Chain A
């Protein structure tokens, strides 16, 4: 019997957006073009055009142990090549940024292979083999999961997700890795760790408030959808909590 994931509860647009981002059968809307070279520059792990540094020889060139798991799991391209494990980390503003930390992790787990995500309040990191990472990062930047003003790639000093926005609508970043240019386009002037780039990397224009509200995955009673209004979502959380409590208190069937 084929299992059909439900992804999550809720009747609101926030809940629907969450399900869409998680569902690998849903095509994420591509909104902007960012070149492979530009992604590599912002990631800051290797110089564009340079060879991928390796952590081990290509799998085809090394003796693989006789392991049934390895026969079951097809390695990713990065794993096959022996790439290093590197990261991309996003900081998402609470003012209706289209994706949010746990949402990113859930979506990535459904959509990507060979990843190790980490979820905090002000940032979400995903680690994987370097050439896989570049593909994943490109998707995360080019699609509806990204907004140039409210989402940014930050390796360290991520402070900003909960702060008020700057007058120009940009999320606070003490390193100002990306800036809103006079032409209305957001441009990275530093890589995600804060090292100045040789040239600017444009990631497009900020989305407008209406679009953000319609595509956000965070509840917010001031600028978006109130959590309280999605009764199904709240009831579901209460149900999960209640069942966990009862099981921990008295682990037997009634």
Chain B
């Protein structure tokens, strides 16, 4: 380890904006003179909104000046704003709670309502069992019918109820294939064009992986998966697929071959975004706890936008991951309330994690001549213990020193769990990006945790005792029930299942291993292609920017209901 000079500190702009007019390197400040909760425009907005609600419903509601600590409201210190990292957008912390942020909701909606269904088995059934002809023309006709049916419209029966298109306009189906000739014959409106969405090299590799097979990227209506759950997605999709095949290929609705189509659409040909969870967590497929970290790295598309910056691409995975896994999964599915939000936001606001991570990139360049701006398997460093120890030690020490040198930054990340997650993430990313090895990245994470705990004699909340003080021992293990390669670990991995401030970062560390190598995908080429689709409501190539748009109320989500409720 040896400290290197890095003049550019990405967090300075944020600190100067947040603590405007103050010396951001001073250890002293004033407190108790901020007018409490009323210093925040957003809190004032909440209080005003409450007045109308209380008059309308006759039941008391938001009352922070009476109910908080028996009459002592928040805001005895400065209630800070936050910059969503590298977006230039400042917002209040409240704007980053997923209830207050439509982009965050849509992010999760777009994942939960997605399944990928292969067409090969269905086509084989039609051709070999029924002797039907399957051509690009019939596929196009089928897709027309399917895009009519998938949102909730009838295609076979008489006298059926249907859904209002204005309520389900986010629902559609596209297809993709590795066969350029076949792709050319598919109507453009139905095609995810791999050649246009990826670089030439990446497209060739992805097409090779997909081969001549054709897959449907299906997005059922947000309103359906919200009203039901992630387990609904494949069922809703399979029902409409079955009916559309019947209609498109003039089948008998009750003939036995339909069972083959149904089985393919419901099970054999389906790629879920998340696996089912055990009874103690009790969720079906396509719920957050079942998303493998490698698959999540393919959902996020930032490496398409930043192919020569694996650090940036990984940081986008951090932002997306902590939002989903900390704020929504652990924070709401598994717990409840509002406390989890700020564990997560620390990792994607104010460019603090960004700065620590780029320090790692500079250190790699300086000491190991590793050029992170040219991702390639050729320059990947051998993932030795000595290398991981050196990288994680230096990146962690630098991060601790930055917090110490800038007391306002320590105040920004006022909780030990926030700092622990951020510092360990920078260490893990530095290790995984440079070695192309996700487990080496995880190992760097745990050295950071031990070093942090001993240096400051504190770490995070109790959960960090459980997870991070024993993590060294499982980070490289592959034994069943205690080890696995990073790509196949996930939020329900035994030692990861209960602790906020980790899972999103782990997903990024795993992804970084592939971004650093310049891989075309982390885990599934099918998922990579599906979420490259520009027709999705949420832009998965720029998640932090999208969350920022949500925070300032510029993001338009799906899930319209004004068509069926009284006008305000």
Contact = CB atoms under 8 A, between A and B. Distances in A.
Q: Are these two chains actual partners, yes or no?
A: yes
Interface of A: 18, 94-95, 100-103, 118-122, 157, 159, 161-167, 169, 172, 174-176, 194, 217-223, 226-228, 233-234, 237-238, 240-242, 244-249
Given A237-B450, A245-B385, A119 B27 contact: no
B5 interface: no
B133 interface: no
A91 B59 CA distance: 38
Contacts of B447: 237-238, 241
27 contacts: A100-B457, A101-B457, A102-B458, A121-B417, A121-B458, A121-B460, A122-B415, A122-B416, A162-B415, A164-B410, A165-B28, A172-B77, A174-B72, A174-B76, A218-B457, A219-B400, A219-B456, A221-B401, A233-B454, A237-B450, A238-B393, A241-B447, A244-B472, A245-B385, A245-B476, A248-B476, A248-B477
B412 to A, nearest CB: 9
Contacts of A120: 416, 458, 460-462
Interface in B117-148: none
- Which of B28, B420, B483 has most A Cβ within 10 Å? B28
Contacts of A247: 473
Given A119-B465, A245-B473, A164 B27 contact: yes
A242 B387 CA distance: 11
A246 B411 contact: no
> 8 tightest A-B contacts by CB?
A121-B416, A248-B473, A100-B457, A244-B472, A174-B76, A249-B476, A121-B458, A102-B457
Interface in B3-62: 3, 26-32
Given A100-B456, A240-B450, A175 B401 contact: no
Interface of B: 1, 3, 26-32, 69-70, 72, 74, 76-77, 385, 389, 393, 397, 400-401, 404-405, 407-408, 410-411, 413-417, 419-420, 443, 446-447, 450-451, 453-462, 465, 470, 472-477, 482-483
Contacts of A218: 455-457
A65 to B, nearest CB: 32
A121 B26 CA distance: 22
Nearest to A168: B28
Contacts of A163: 77, 410-411, 414
Given A94-B456, A95-B27, A245-B476, A121 B401 contact: no
- Which of A121, A161, A244, A246 has most B Cβ within 10 Å? A121
A121 B77 contact: no
Given A100-B458, A245-B385, A249-B476, A222 B29 contact: no
Contacts of B400: 219, 221, 227
Contacts of B483: 248
A103 B393 contact: no
Nearest to A93: B27
